[in-house]
Chains A and B, each alone.
Chain A
Amino acid sequence: MTATTFIDGLSLGAIYALIALGYTMVYGIAKMLNFAHGDIIMVGAYTVYSTLLWMGKPILAVIFAIAVCVILGVVIEKVAYKPLRGASPLAVLITAIGVSYLLQAIAQLAFGAKAVPVGLPRFPVLHIGDKLVVNVSTLITLGVGSVLMIALTLFIKKSKIGRAMIAVSEDRKAAQLMGVNVNRIISLTFAIGSALAAVASIFYLMQIPNTSPTLGSMPGIKAFTAAVIGGIGSIPGAMIGGVLLGVVEKICLSIPALNPYTTAIEFAILIVILMVRPTGILGKKIREKV
């Protein structure tokens, strides 16, 4: 393993962590697995693509991607999930899957099935010392990703809304009785999760500069795995899980003998971790009540 592999892994991990945060927050607060979260990334990527095509300004593309994803996330929550509040969690899960299919189908109808190139500006390559070759985009991903995660942690811990989120995640009914507007908090959670997904989609495009309707499904599942490894519902857990998964993936990919088994190894790590700690690395212990 070289230092370059490690840095690449950290940057991939940062992308996974950003997506995992969306999963973990929604799970913590709305108690549902949002299977459509991966497809929000895809929508973000297509927004970047269209904006660049029409206006050619990367900064506008970033702003639009975040705006579109936030609006979409909130609308999906209002239309598809809110009516099912109180219904069985499986019903919500299936609806989320329906939303995921729907977004993919719409993307294919609107943009075609073919992967399209997204012309985000390319960043220069840095040669540090003899061995280390790092692209600036990797460093940006790492830097911005870390800043966002720290900011989110502070927001949740220190701000009033953040504390309301914690309250809702711990006991929705009690929080409601204390005057917390649960519906607004859930919408806000979806908004923040989707914004992070939009940021992740931009970083993703910086590494992999094309987008297709099925772009979101694999990063979505990997990020979900990361969220579970870290302990679903736990924000630092999502970061640890994401980074762990990213580094493991890059290491496996760089060793030819392990390369074909990358997916198996990643998922095996998940199983091993859950066998040792049944609620993930930082997950809260579930207390069973009689």
Chain B
Amino acid sequence: MTARMPSLPGDLTRLGFSDPRRADTLLRDRSLAPLIKDRERVESDGLAVSLSRVADPDQALLALVRLLDAVATPANDAFRDDLVEALREPGRARDRLLAVLGSSTALGDHLVARPEHWTAVADAFPLEVEERIELLTTAVREPAAVTPEDALRLEYRRQLLGIAALDVSRPDPQARLSEVASSLADLAEAALEAALVVARAQVGDAADRCRFAVIGMGKTGGRELNYISDVDVIFVAEPADGADEDAALAVGTDLATRLIRICSSATTAGSLWQVDPALRPEGKNGPLVRTLESHVSYYERWAKTWEFQALLKARPVAGDRALGRAYVEAVAPFVWQAASRENFVEDVQAMRRRVEDNVPSGEADRQLKLGPGGLRDIEFSVQLLQLVHGRADRSLRSGTTLTALAALSQGGYVGREDAQTLATAYRLLRTLEHRIQLHRLRRTHLMPTSASDLRCLGRALGHQRDPEEAVVTQWRTAAREVRRLHQRIFYRPLLSAVARLGPDEVRLTPEAARERLAALGFRDPKGALRHLEALTDGVSRRAAIQRQLLPVMLGWFADEADPDAGLLAFRRISDELGTTPWFLRLLRDEGSAAERLAHTLGRSRYAAELLEQGPESVQFLGDSGGLRPRTRDEVQGRMRAAAKRKDEPQPAVLAARAVRRSELFRLAVASLLGQVGLDELGRALADLNGALVDVTLEVVLRGVEEQTGQPPLSRHLVVGMGRLGGGESSFGSDADVLFVHDPVEGAETRAAQEQALEVVKELIRLLGVAAPDPRLEVDAGLRPEGKNGPLTRSLESYRAYYERWSLVWEAQALLRAAPVAGDADLGAAFVELIDPLRWPEGGLDAKQVREIRTLKARMESERLPRGADRKTHFKLGHGGLSDVEWTVQLIQLEHAHEHESLRTTSTMGALEAARSAGFVDAEDAVALAEAWRLASQMRNAGMLSRGRAVDSVPSDLKDADGMARIMGLPPKSGQELANRYRRVARRARHAAEKVFYEA
């Protein structure tokens, strides 16, 4: 007794048993007695040491005990001694048996039930497919004491044991993956052949009426099968000589139905796998069996791109081989012409999206197959490249993933290193999948979650230390690698067509590169190649980095509405920034910067143009938190600082305009990314324009001071009108303003007026002077007397004018007046002057109300541009911006004197106040607000998308699509966007008619 104590539990633990106490008991079990040499010291016995080398020693030990119990029965006398003998001595037989028992509880159970199969493990050797077919068909033809179905299952399992034995007892299973996968496919092929024998026997003589072939698809066709997986097939039948076609098809259908049932149904001996005929023409709705001609005519006419992708793996696997070969030969031309089909590009893009989206969300982080960086990614990339290039290059036409990948690498279609990395990852993922499936012989593609399963998996992959963690890390690393390569594998070789990537790299021909670019959605592949060439030309560090970046960026461009424009803009910016070190570093190192840039350029001509004028703004993209709009003070501080660095007024203002341009870019990107809402954007754009006007005014006044040697004769004020005053500007808004000055004490009025006029003219000139940075158009058309009146007036002159002449429309315009630049005190004085006008005591009289209504009605009929659609014009159309604004303004004019909340320059603010005060009912207020916002958003989206003002819902579908994408709608929503606008505008028009016209 004492001798046993020290061995527990340490030694067995060290050997890898997770439950050493139980292991100890089992090792001392009576049934193991014949195997153990020293029962006192089981832990150092050869058996225990051998067990320590298998994936799950505890499981293997338990299975071993059960196996020996099972052979103890007299029925097994014949081989009991041989088995015990094999297990007692170290060597291949024992290692294999233990390895199988330690890897698969299901196969362990099978051995317990059928111990006579032990030799299939101990003496396992590779078999040719013909031998497998021979063994299996013989088994079902002479089924001895069982049904043919059970005979099929037993012999299948027996051979499966052999494949598993060779697989799990190898030190480096990944290296031999292809061999295992092809053996499994051969076994499936043999099983189908044997099942067909059974089916034919059931059908009887009638079976002779039809030539019948089974075509393997998917992994079966590719000769790269899993342990447990659906076996994808297509059935072809032809009438045998002299037989009628309909009769033959009926027999074929009968055979196919039986074959499916023979393989799939569960009997006492278990089941094989599901036979899945869903890849046939018309899928589940199509007939199970077709003639060759019917297949061909289907593929000629109706098949979709993904079906050709599937056909790439077609291979005859059972039945009439000549017919099977004829089928494969007949469909091959379709497969290899698929890339030239009409909708190939769209289909491929849709398939790519589907690959990304198609992961059941709860399992995404455990999926070996469908998850990001999973097997599907590799298979998809390989197959797609085969379809694109296999047309011209026959060497690529293999159904086996690894073979095809090697051929792609050989031909230069995939970078050599990329191909190697991908192949390694593929082998790892498949090996993991195999081990997981082997464990319980279940069809699963999920990483296990329990610690013990992970541990077993880790040990199976050869990890001795911390196997649980090691295996997960290994898997995640591979998946990340696949993910990375998946994105660039399409694009990287494109560069090899135009640039030397590495000394031993095979180059993609320009022809092949153009084909691939076209397949990715580039409309002008030649142009795109030229840009690529320019970007990656030479040996500079810049070219080297671009070669790294572009493969991924090309993919992002391809996602957008206009990939060509995106790439062109990128080239311009890269040319501009040239060797600026931070530019490339930013794109390479800053995570999402390159992606944001690609999407921005592909989506927004406005942003692209801003960036071309000032490429250094690219920096904002690297700053993930940096896209919040800046405050007016912040912006103005920057503009002022920039202006101060220049002595002359014009350069100073241009410097401030550059600051504005870069802020515009920031706001554009923030809008594109949905990081800034409409209200915030309107405020920020108004502030930006206000700040520029203010700084420009400062510069001009400083110039006056320097010129005349004395302070300006007046204080100056710029009042924002319209959207500027309301703080609701859009991209591309003009600045509507009034200019006000106030002569300082002692200044002569006329001289002050003259000087003020000069100041204003200079201000307008400097803001509008042609320069790379966008100008700010200043419009003073709302001033007293309009174009006939002086550009600027003194405060007193305004006072006099408004006292004598003021018209209702002027009061209305003043509703949105707010000082935006210049002297703050003067601003306060001006506001005090206009408040009684815009919020008149007692509201409006009936005549004034009628005047406003008439004016609006006239404007509707006269101001709409020729050819514009009254229903969809954002500003002047029915339910457009001016409907909403006039409605709100009329309420303000009538009621602001008694409702302080109405005294705001913001249209949306005033509308909300009018609703709270009960001047508009809730439903109308919602309709008006919705229309105003949608029109504003669409104007912004139009400007962003096309780089110029878009005044109404575009009648060009592509333009509408571009805007819809910016507004967050899925691709192809152009028509939907138009419908949405018209609905919202109709409701708003309705409300405006009710509230404004009181109709």
Are chains A and B native binding partners rather than an unrelated pairing?
Answer: no
